[in-house]
Structure formats: structure tokens, C-alpha cells
Amino acid sequence: MQFETILLIIIFVYGVIIGSFLNVLIYRLPLKENIATERSHCMKCGNKIKWYDLVPLVSYILLRGKCRHCKEKISVQYPLVELANGIGYVWIFYANGGISTDITVVVDSILFCLCTSALLVLSVIDWRTYEIPVQLNIFILITGIARVINYRNNSDEIIELLIGMIAVSVPLLLLFYLTKGRGIGGGDVKLMAAAGLLVGVGNIVLALVLGCVIGSIIHIALMKICKRDNVLAFGPYLSIGIFITMLYGEQIIEWYMQFYS
């Protein structure tokens, strides 16, 4: 087995393990519960969950998706979030050339992975509650600041990142005030400011476009098929756009600009 394959497997395992913690955030942040000291418990019977029932993916399969104590079904969200985070980490490292001897590239990939985890959490929470916890936007902002530091010797890149912080968020902020919050949520504005600092001006504009297109298609379909409320949770769609730009933003922009060259 090649070294690169082994490394990708390790990255996947780390992603899945972190994905397990993301489930804790998804459930506890909206309830403002302690995420650090309180042990995991069954949402139905309240029994504390033993360590051997908390092994990501494996425990869900061995328990056949049921609580060991009350036999209540465990939400399929748990393994799906863990799996999605693991796949996301591998995808980012592979697509961004993170398996490299270039420390700048490796750091970028790590920051994109951390952002992906935050996007995954806020997407599920926003989908359910129509709110984006400010802690998640602050975390993404920190990854953006870390990327600025990572490019401290590249002034052009830093300028692009700083412009990215305001390129989309400022227009969205104006829309927020003009519509009195009916057109866009405050959490969405903060998200695009934080993510803009991480991915830069071109990518954050592309992320907004992708989020609007994907959101329109999916939301209209859900309204027709599933009779979902016409209130739009925009965070998940913006997150998809941000994730795509972290993977292929530069390639998409280059492909698009060739029609104007």
C-alpha cells in the first residue's frame, strides 16, 4: 500500500472521530448545553453512554442503530455526520494537494478541513432551527485569521483574503437592513464575512452564486415534493457553495473566465 493511501486512511479516521464530536455540537449548541464536561447520554432514556458505545461508525453498526438500554432508535444523523466529515477531510486533502511537502499547502488543507466541520454543524442546526450559532462563525473566522498568518509573506494573497471578508458580507448586510432581516439572516452575513477571509474574494463571490443556485433548486423542489415551509434556511446552501470553492474554486473561475479572454 502506497504511503499516500495510508495517509488518506489516517486522515479519514481523524475526520470520522472529529465527526463524532460534531454530533455533540449539533445537539447541544441550540440547547446551550455544556459541550465539554457533560457525558454523552441517550436522548430518550437519559442513560450515560459507555465509551465502547461511542466508537464512531462502528458502535452504530454493532448496536444496529438502537440504544443499548432502552432500545430506542438512534438517529441516522450520527453515522452520516461522522462519515460525511471523514469523506470531506479526505476530499479536501486530495483536491487541494494537501498531501505535500509544502507546509503552506498542508496548513491550508487543515484549515479547510476545520472549516468544513463547522459548516457541517451549522448546516444541520440552521436546517432545523433557522439560526446559525455565533460560535461557529467565530470559529470559521479564526480559521480565516490563521490563513492570513499562513500567507504572511505574500501581500497579494493577504489583500485578496481581506477583500474577501467584505466583498459579499457588506452587500448582504445592506440587504439585511433594507429588508429588516426578511431577505437574509444575520448569521448568513457573519458566515460570509468569516468564510470570505478564509477563501478570498473570488471564491466567496462564487460561493454565494453557487449557494443561491443550489438553494433555489433544492428549496423549490422540497416545497413541491415535501411541502417544506417556504422559509429558507440559507446556511446549508451557502455552506455547500463554500465547500465547493475550497475544493475547485480556482478551477471553476478559470473555466468561466476563458469565455471572456
Distance CA 128, CA 26 (A): 10
pLDDT of 115 reads: 98
Q: Does 157 have pLDDT greater than 90?
A: yes
Is the pTM of the predicted complex or chain greater than 0.85? yes
Distance CA 144, CA 112 (A): 9
Q: Does 45 have pLDDT greater than 80?
A: no
102-147: pLDDT as tens digits: 889 999 999 999 999 999 999 999 999 999 999 999 999 999 999 9
47-93: pLDDT as tens digits: 777 777 778 888 888 887 888 878 778 889 999 999 999 999 999 99
5-33: pLDDT as tens digits: 889 999 999 999 999 999 999 999 998 88
Task: List the chain domain ranges.
Answer: 1-95, 131-261
pLDDT of 79 reads: 94
pLDDT of 46 reads: 67
Q: Does 1 have pLDDT greater than 80?
A: no
pLDDT of 48 reads: 79
Average pLDDT of the chain to the nearest whole number:
90
206-257: pLDDT as tens digits: 999 999 999 989 888 887 777 666 678 899 999 999 999 999 999 999 999 8
166-215: pLDDT as tens digits: 999 999 999 999 988 777 899 999 999 999 999 999 999 999 999 999 99
pLDDT of 227 reads: 64
pLDDT of 183 reads: 74
pLDDT of 230 reads: 67
